Amino acid sequence: MKFETETGSLYEIDEAANRVRRLIGVKNPTPRQGNDGEWKTYEDHSPIVIGQSVLLWWAVESGVGKSTVTSLVKRILEDDQPN
Q: Is the pLDDT of residue 80 over 70?
A: no
Q: Is the pLDDT of residue 82 over 80?
A: no
CA–CA gap between residue 49 and residue 61 (Å, rounded):
28
pLDDT tens digit string along 12-44? 999 999 999 999 999 888 888 889 999 999 999
Q: Is the pLDDT of residue 81 over 80?
A: no
CA–CA gap between residue 51 and residue 27 (Å, rounded):
20
Q: Are 10 and 73 in contact (CB under 8 A)?
A: no
Q: Is the pLDDT of residue 73 over 70?
A: yes
Report pTM: 0.87
Non-local (6+) Cβ contacts of 47 within 8 A are none
Q: Are 45 and 57 in contact (CB under 8 A)?
A: yes
